């Protein structure tokens, strides 16, 4: 199993939006944005159930999921695959809830999903393959977003 490095943990803590993909009971994909994805330890991610009824229902039936967190300016990030376990009480729940509260999350939290990461990989824009630098990509997307 790959260890989630300090570099990856720092990246996750710097990003404010990721996406969690689950599979519904009728085998349809469900993609849900999440603003609470964190690396809890060297092999576990966590995210909060703030407004996630379909995600939670899907995980109760099938714990397999994928999480993508991408820096929108740098066009790079990480894809994580694993199994989610919903917790609603206990020491780990309280510790993660405390972490969220200390970091300014005020929304009601119905549960926390612990993700046992089985594998992960870096995701990068094809522009990097063409030799475009990180700074050039960042400036391109900053300009684009400012011009909206």
In a domain, 72, yes or no: yes
Number of domains in the chain: 1
In a domain, 90, yes or no: yes
Q: Dihedral of the CA atoms 4, 70, 76, 130 (nearest 10)? A: 150
Query: Which pTM does this prediction carry?
Result: 0.94
In a domain, 1, yes or no: no
In a domain, 27, yes or no: yes
Q: Strand ranges (DSSP E) for the chain?
A: 18-23, 29-34, 38-39, 44-49, 64-71, 76-87, 111-124
CA distance 3 to 117: 9
Q: Assign residue 85 a region (left: φ > 0; alpha: ψ between -120 and 50; beta: otherwise).
A: beta
**CATH value at residue 115:** 2.30.110.10
C-alpha 28 chain-centroid distance: 20
What's the domain range around 126? 6-146
> Which structure tokens are listed for 103?
């970091």
Cβ neighbours of residue 112 closer than 8 Å, sequence gap 6 or more: 46, 47, 48, 49, 86, 87, 88, 92, 93, 96, 97
In a domain, 38, yes or no: yes
In a domain, 11, yes or no: yes
Low-confidence stretches of the chain (pLDDT beneath 50): none
In a domain, 45, yes or no: yes
């Amino acid at each position: 199993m790959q260890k989630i490095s300090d570099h990856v943990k720092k990246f996750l803590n710097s990003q404010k939006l990721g996406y969690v993909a689950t599979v519904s009971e009728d085998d349809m994909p469900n993609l849900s944005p999440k603003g609470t994805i964190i690396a809890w330890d060297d092999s576990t991610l966590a995210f909060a159930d703030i407004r996630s009824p379909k995600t939670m229902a899907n995980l109760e039936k099938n714990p397999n999921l994928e999480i993508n967190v991408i820096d929108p300016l740098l066009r790079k990030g990480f894809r994580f695959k694993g199994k989610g376990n919903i917790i609603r009480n206990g020491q780990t729940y309280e510790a993660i809830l405390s972490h969220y509260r200390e970091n300014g999350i005020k929304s009601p939290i119905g549960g926390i999903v612990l993700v046992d990461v089985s594998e992960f990989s870096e995701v990068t824009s094809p522009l990097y393959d063409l030799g475009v630098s990180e700074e050039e990509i960042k400036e391109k997307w900053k300009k684009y977003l400012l011009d909206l």
